[in-house]
Structure 1
């Protein structure tokens, strides 16, 4: 359970960025933003008071922020009302002076979708929010978007990428001197550690967060953190500690009139009662949770309640009712691909069906439970190794920077001492320095000229990306290594480019090429590199990539190009691309052979109707691996 991302986007910025003269609605919005973490009802009251003031004294930026605060509150309670607020906020964007507010609107839209378990669409919104905030150079909005995307990546089992986003968001919040936001980001990091099975680390972080939240009177945050701490103890089967955390979360949520938080806490208390052998008490608790759940559009919450009901009914030997509850939970978890909950549901269904004498179907569910458990374990191990690698690389870089700093300090001290020793030779030193400066200036000009000529020779003049020569000269040494890394190559071709030149003119065609280049460059990071092959074709090389990563990146490129706003210069026409993908062979591969395979895959994409991705692997690999399905999540 997390605080919804929209509130982060509505938090206050320094007043001078909004208006040189304080608007009368400003103080209400600032209070509403602060109250999100302590008293949601007060937050709503102040946001609505600000909107009343804005009727008489309009200000698009402030109204958007007020409506995003309301969206945060309503997204957990009334989906239709939340959608109405975000629609009003989006309608105000053309009048807004703070361009980064669009990221807040996208964040709100993603929060509504995520609450309804539409995680794939929610991720698209968060990706767009990150891109918008980056272009607007709005660090606060970028931190909020990174938090939302990182949390959702964690729900989908992509822990390494999720942790990278959350830690980057936390660092931005710390740089912006927003400690409460940084604390929320730390809670998100703890959730991912919990999902990876590092329960002790997660529990330690929750304990740290609780101390700060209690000192600051952040009651809503306390209810969320206590619930997450209860889940840690539940995973560790520490039932007394789990019950205490869930009970305190329930009491705080009840005082705040926060039905979603109450329902989640009651679900946890029911799980404890099941574990302690009190299924009848668990059912009574779950009846309260179900009544509260009807006040929120949270589909996964209902499924978790049904799972706990199925367990309790099984213990009471009410097998048909247990089967019905478990089956309804299974449908939701299967759609979301929520591995931990799927494993528990499959296992309980196997036991219920066996008790009913349906051995065949019970065995089938037992096999499903085992396969799901193995999938979850493999993903946890893989993602944990990826996370440790990122942490190691970061620590190594920090250590290297510290050593360089100490070396620079020592050098400066040595220079100062040498200067004092040569005080009697000032005249000579002065002439030497002048001569050295002249030589250095000449050398610098020579170096700069050489560098400029090399850049011109290796850069595409129109788009500013490296040209064909630059890409192939960089790829060739990689393939010639004794044990070359696996490399992916993507050839990206703009569909129907000739018709753009014919119908709109070469100036618009050039603009299309530059726009596509910019969009692709946003997603290409070292050690990957990009270049223009010529005409309307671009190439991307990704050293060290496997097939799944290359395929995902190709789809991201294709979708990113489709999102380019071309209305200003191509009217209603959209730009699409076809992409051919190939992988390098372990030995004997060359840039030329990789280009041939990628080009053949590109032609397959063209023949398949364009605007798609096709793959041609080396002849030794006869089958294309199936793309991995992203793991969906539990509420934690």
Structure 2
């Protein structure tokens, strides 16, 4: 499964974008608002975002009270964006109210880059609701606004938001470029906590790219720094991400420990969203360890907490885990409903890893329900999504290598211009690096080709297996209705179709077998009749099960007399089945309806209707007999003699 973070880990980026540490001379020179009495509360609120969100809200509200008496557009925008950040995870309407008030103040603001903060918060609200396409548009605008305003704090926050979302959408190379640039800007601004958040974002992308071990290492490093700094909320986010890395590596005990610690910290902070994500992780561990009942109990708690946040992806992740647990418990209908609910959100977000897992689980559930056709369709969706994800990962790795190569080449070129005396040495080093990268590209290309060939082979095998399942009756092993009709239709569409007969064979009084002897004996009766018919039906004739106790036999090239003799042969063959082992008091008999294809213009449907009508004639005639109903132009032959039995030619 694809790595899940607390979707608004990016909520920290908003505060990171527009709040700087108070007290530096540079900040005092750039922002005279430092002297305003509300400034101290805003600085405290910014610092508390990473440790105690409730304190952050309290301080932001205290700042707004002071600003009501001493208005300052810049400071009020920053205070309202802090509240928007907090509410985006809990109260969508409240967050929208705060961002609307902040936007209304922009014409009065002196710091033009604050518009990027407003755009980031609007994007945060949309991203939390699963509307990633619209959120990305706003982040793009925020990057452009911050660039024009030469506001590095806002630019770093906007790059973080855009890079995080690009990674969620599978564009890892460009996402990594944004996140690394954001980290570099935070380092230049001497904002180590913000830089640490950017590093966490980079780890998230490594996790999504499948480099789980590297991501785990980065999370461990970030967690140590956060614990040293007392950043409790950040710890809960990083621990959850670490748990997902362990989950992807199937290190279930380590994943459980990380999710449990996330849950404990989130409860201390009264952080319902963090609790819900942690519970989803603990439920996933329960599923993996074979305890679906325990998983469902945990997910019930998660759903209660989830209702306190507008996070659509969180709800979908919970539904996916529920679907898995319900499938394990054979509650197939409920499992399918939960998985379908998750699919709606994952499709909207184009979250490939989660789509692949959901499609795969849904295919298995539908197959277990006997809905082979829809199960096959969902399996194809899972395979297509897996292939898209695999190709995207490889393509993005190549793109990342190219970005690194281009960046390194540019740096080397600048170094060459400044250090002409070392030109030859640097050129040789660059050439060697280029050759190494070329070799790496060649190796990756070969690996990609092998993996794609393997994937294609597995897909071909799966397709063939699912096709066989879709065209075969599971109980009797004979072709099903779809298989028979798909083979009959082309025969009837030929310009000069050969003579063709159809028999519908119905087991007499089958319901009484089930009622008196049980469904196991009923199934045995169906299997025995199928075996008898299979032994007597040879190419070009073919057999299938229409459903229930009805079978169909199509005999291309047979005239009416031959078809009638064969029908009698089938009827008598069924009567000869030895049923003493499992039906001591009766023999099996069948009624048979016979029809012939028209010379032209006939269809599978019309033939089935005539054969079915003939079958009802046989039932009305007392059963255990053969009756025919021919097309209108051949009705004069509908009262045949009963010739002796003959075999197939």
What TM-score, normalized by structure 2, do the two folds share? 0.62
5 Å-filtered alignment, 1:193-232, equals 193-232=206-245
Shift of 1:16: 2.8
Q: Which moved more, 1:6-15 or 1:109-118?
A: 6-15
Partner of residue 264 from structure 2, selected from 229, 235, 251 = 251
In the alignment, which residue of structure 2 is the partner of 1:9? 17
Q: SS at the partner of 1:237?
A: coil
Answering whether residue 376 of structure 2 is matched by residue 376 of structure 1, we say no
In the alignment, which residue of structure 2 is the partner of 1:328? 341
Answering whether residue 51 of structure 2 is matched by residue 51 of structure 1, we say no
C-alpha contact 2:284 2:321 (8 A) present in aligned 1: yes
In the alignment, which residue of structure 2 is the partner of 1:303? 316
C-alpha contact 1:18 1:61 (8 A) present in aligned 2: no
Shift of 1:245: 1.0
Partner of residue 72 from structure 1, selected from 58, 77, 85 = 85
In the alignment, which residue of structure 2 is the partner of 1:151? 164
C-alpha contact 1:78 1:296 (8 A) present in aligned 2: yes
5 Å-filtered alignment, 1:126-145, equals 126-145=139-158
Q: SS at the partner of 1:378?
A: helix
What TM-score, normalized by structure 1, do the two folds share? 0.63
Shift of 1:74: 0.2
Q: Name which one, 1 or 2, has greater alpha-carbon Rg.
A: 2
1: CA distance between counterparts of 2:154 and 2:185? 10
User: Across the two proteins, how many residue pairs are aligned to each other?
Assistant: 411
**Unmatched 5+ stretches in structure 2:** 1-5, 22-26, 424-649
Partner of residue 175 from structure 2, selected from 147, 162, 182 = 162
In the alignment, which residue of structure 2 is the partner of 1:176? 189
Shift of 1:8: 2.1
Partner of residue 235 from structure 1, selected from 238, 244, 248 = 248
1: CA distance between counterparts of 2:275 and 2:110? 39
2: CA distance between counterparts of 1:367 and 1:361? 10
2: CA distance between counterparts of 1:21 and 1:335? 43
2: CA distance between counterparts of 1:174 and 1:6? 17
**Structure 1 residues 170 and 9: alpha-carbon distance in aligned structure 2, compared to 1, 3 A threshold:** same
5 Å-filtered alignment, 1:533-552, equals none
1: CA distance between counterparts of 2:422 and 2:165? 44
Deviation per CA, 1:221-269: give whole Å up to 9, x if none.
Answer: 1111111111111111111111111111111111111111111111011
In the alignment, which residue of structure 1 is the partner of 2:399? 386
**Structure 1 residues 277 and 21: alpha-carbon distance in aligned structure 2, compared to 1, 3 A threshold:** closer
C-alpha contact 2:41 2:60 (8 A) present in aligned 1: yes
2: CA distance between counterparts of 1:363 and 1:150? 36
C-alpha contact 2:10 2:161 (8 A) present in aligned 1: no
1: CA distance between counterparts of 2:395 and 2:63? 48
2: CA distance between counterparts of 1:180 and 1:254? 23
In the alignment, which residue of structure 2 is the partner of 1:350? 363
**Structure 1 residues 386 and 21: alpha-carbon distance in aligned structure 2, compared to 1, 3 A threshold:** closer
In the alignment, which residue of structure 2 is the partner of 1:286? 299
Shift of 1:25: 0.5
C-alpha contact 1:12 1:29 (8 A) present in aligned 2: no
Shift of 1:216: 0.3
1: CA distance between counterparts of 2:366 and 2:216? 36
5 Å-filtered alignment, 1:15-30, equals 15-19=28-32, 22-30=35-43
Deviation per CA, 1:85-112: give whole Å up to 9, x if none.
Answer: 0011011111111111011011110100
- Runs of 4+ displaced beyond 3 Å: 395-410
Deviation per CA, 1:157-214: give whole Å up to 9, x if none.
Answer: 1111111111111111111111111111111111111111111111111111111101
Deviation per CA, 1:419-473: give whole Å up to 9, x if none.
Answer: xxxxxxxxxxxxxxxxxxxxxxxxxxxxxxxxxxxxxxxxxxxxxxxxxxxxxxx
1: CA distance between counterparts of 2:421 and 2:128? 52
1: CA distance between counterparts of 2:394 and 2:34? 54
Ranked by relative contact order (alpha carbons within 8 Å, sequence separation 6 or more), the top structure is: 1
Shift of 1:352: 1.0
Answering whether residue 320 of structure 2 is matched by residue 341 of structure 1, we say no
1: CA distance between counterparts of 2:228 and 2:363? 47
Deviation per CA, 1:547-580: give whole Å up to 9, x if none.
Answer: xxxxxxxxxxxxxxxxxxxxxxxxxxxxxxxxxx
Shift of 1:350: 1.1
C-alpha contact 1:3 1:221 (8 A) present in aligned 2: no
C-alpha contact 2:60 2:79 (8 A) present in aligned 1: yes
2: CA distance between counterparts of 1:363 and 1:370? 10
In the alignment, which residue of structure 2 is the partner of 1:419? none
2: CA distance between counterparts of 1:21 and 1:216? 25
In the alignment, which residue of structure 2 is the partner of 1:462? none
Shift of 1:338: 1.3
Q: SS at the partner of 2:19?
A: coil
C-alpha contact 2:324 2:335 (8 A) present in aligned 1: yes
Q: SS at the partner of 1:58?
A: coil
**Structure 1 residues 65 and 155: alpha-carbon distance in aligned structure 2, compared to 1, 3 A threshold:** same
Q: SS at the partner of 1:3?
A: helix
C-alpha contact 1:6 1:71 (8 A) present in aligned 2: no
C-alpha contact 2:38 2:63 (8 A) present in aligned 1: yes
Cα RMSD for the two superposed structures: 1.7
C-alpha contact 1:102 1:129 (8 A) present in aligned 2: yes
C-alpha contact 2:283 2:298 (8 A) present in aligned 1: yes
Q: SS at the partner of 1:393?
A: helix
Partner of residue 267 from structure 1, selected from 257, 280, 293 = 280
5 Å-filtered alignment, 1:97-108, equals 97-108=110-121
5 Å-filtered alignment, 1:484-499, equals none
**Unmatched 5+ stretches in structure 1:** 411-636
1: CA distance between counterparts of 2:224 and 2:236? 13
Shift of 1:351: 1.1
Deviation per CA, 1:126-167: give whole Å up to 9, x if none.
Answer: 111111111111111011111111111111111111111111
C-alpha contact 2:156 2:186 (8 A) present in aligned 1: yes
